[in-house]
Amino acid sequence: MINNKSNKIFISIGILIFMLISIIISYNYYKTYYSDNTKFEDQSVIIYIKSGSELNSFKNQIVSILKDSTTFFNAAHKTEYLLNIKAGKYEIKKGYSNKEIINTLKFQNKPVKVTFNNLERIEDLALKISNLIEADSLSLMSSFNNINFLKQNDLNSESVFSIFLPDTYEFYWNTSADQFRDKMLSQFRSYWNESRIEKAKYLNLSPIEVSILASIVQRETPKVEERPTISGVYYNRLKKNMKLQADPTVVYTLKEKNGFNTKIRRVLYKDLKIKSPYNTYVYKGLPPGPICMPDFSSIESVLNLENHQFLFFVADVKRPGYHMFASTNKEHNRNKRQYTNWLKKNNIKR
């Protein structure tokens, strides 16, 4: 009888101990994987994990958003995340558990929107992109000017600027310089479909040459509706083997010489003699590369240029942003007088 009582007591104690251990294990399991482990006040935070991040670097970064780093690293160790820390941009939301944080870091690399337009130089593009993705400006410039890449795609360090079409794109933050460059080349090739290539061939221009001419047209006028007319003027001059004599190319050479932050309101006669392959007053044909990043309307204005006999144009002071066109030098000089008189009247010297 006594033995039975003792056995029941031992069994009861054993059951209690088992239940207590189970509760402790369950609590630890819950705390390790499922309890809230964020300590920030905002609704979410963004963390950036760099490519090739080592464990210590990752730990220093993640600890700042955690209530309990011990449980997080226990969970990360058991799920083997620490064996494969993934670079990228991640959004961690307030109230996330360790399991949710780890799943986010494993599977939810957040894309970033990359927008660029109206840039003057490829260096400007590299700087702009380096502020949006992980690759820095030096690695981007090195990638853009990679000799093998340029040779394989019949490009050079000036014309390569043409492949970057202004738009909004999605990239992962940890995109490398080469990945960015290659995607831009792919987008360029997609844009240049069979129809556009045929239009360029009809004009006896390559896609790169179209972009270079479009960059000049874009700098000539902000008025999209006038761009096909201006494209027609430059095309007529190219066909006649005339110098383009485009003022925006002179402005570009002045900025090359004096710095691209230089403000230039007027081109002077002495500027027309500056020796630079970009100066179309000195050299015939197109410059070696774009003088800015042409937008789609400028490119399309060249592909669908206006067929006319004009060879000259000058700013129309009565209609700001627009121009007066002429077929002869005599007519052009007459039009030009109204512009030079306006410059003198407003005392615009540079």
- Does residue 248 share a domain with residue 163? no
Band the pLDDT of 283: cuts 50, 70, 90: very high
> Can you give the pLDDT at residue 32?
85
For residue 155, tell me if it sits in a domain: yes
> Can you give the pLDDT at residue 31?
82
Band the pLDDT of 25: cuts 50, 70, 90: low
pLDDT in tens, 145-169: 999 999 999 999 999 999 999 999 9
For residue 234, tell me if it sits in a domain: yes
- Does residue 266 share a domain with residue 233? yes
Residue 1 is classified by DSSP as: -
14 pLDDT above the threshold of 80 = no
Question: Regarding predicted confidence, which is higher, 4 or 80?
Answer: 80
- Does residue 306 share a domain with residue 210? yes
> Can you give the pLDDT at residue 29?
73
Question: Regarding predicted confidence, which is higher, 134 or 17?
Answer: 134
For residue 14, tell me if it sits in a domain: no
pLDDT in tens, 33-87: 899 999 999 999 999 999 999 999 999 999 999 999 999 999 999 999 999 999 9
- Does residue 185 share a domain with residue 217? no
Question: Regarding predicted confidence, which is higher, 345 or 230?
Answer: 230
Instruction: Name the residue range of residue 33's domain.
Output: 28-107
Which segments of the chain are extended strands (E)? 44-49, 88-93, 111-116, 167-172, 312-315, 323-326
> Can you give the pLDDT at residue 5?
67
- Does residue 230 share a domain with residue 317? yes
> For the whole model, what pTM was predicted?
0.89
Average pLDDT over every residue of 203-225: 97
Query: Given 157, 191, 225, which residue is the final one in a domain?
Result: 191
Is residue 166 within 8 A of residue 191, CB to CB? The reply is: no
For residue 179, tell me if it sits in a domain: yes
For residue 1, tell me if it sits in a domain: no
Which segments of 33-166 are extended strands (E)? 44-49, 88-93, 111-116
- Matching residue, tokens 């902000």: 222
139: left (phi over 0), alpha (psi -120 to 50) or beta: alpha
230 pLDDT above the threshold of 60 = yes
> How many structural domains does the chain have?
3
- Does residue 117 share a domain with residue 98? no
For residue 3, tell me if it sits in a domain: no
Query: Given 62, 77, 107, which residue is the final one in a domain?
Result: 107
- Does residue 205 share a domain with residue 179? no
- The span from the CA of 15 to the CA of 265, in Å, is 91
285 pLDDT above the threshold of 70 = yes
For residue 18, tell me if it sits in a domain: no
- Does residue 175 share a domain with residue 149? yes
Query: Given 91, 107, 123, which residue is the final one in a domain?
Result: 107
- Does residue 186 share a domain with residue 83? no
Q: How many CA atoms lie within 13 A of 9 on its CB side?
A: 6
Residue 222 is classified by DSSP as: S
Q: What percent of the chain has pLDDT over 90?
A: 81
Average pLDDT over every residue of 306-319: 95
8 pLDDT above the threshold of 90 = no
- Does residue 255 share a domain with residue 217? yes
Mean pLDDT of the chain: 93
> Can you give the pLDDT at residue 345?
82
- Does residue 316 share a domain with residue 209? yes
> Can you give the pLDDT at residue 343?
82
Residue 79 is classified by DSSP as: T
Is residue 93 within 8 A of residue 44, CB to CB? The reply is: yes
For residue 216, tell me if it sits in a domain: yes
- Does residue 313 share a domain with residue 286? yes
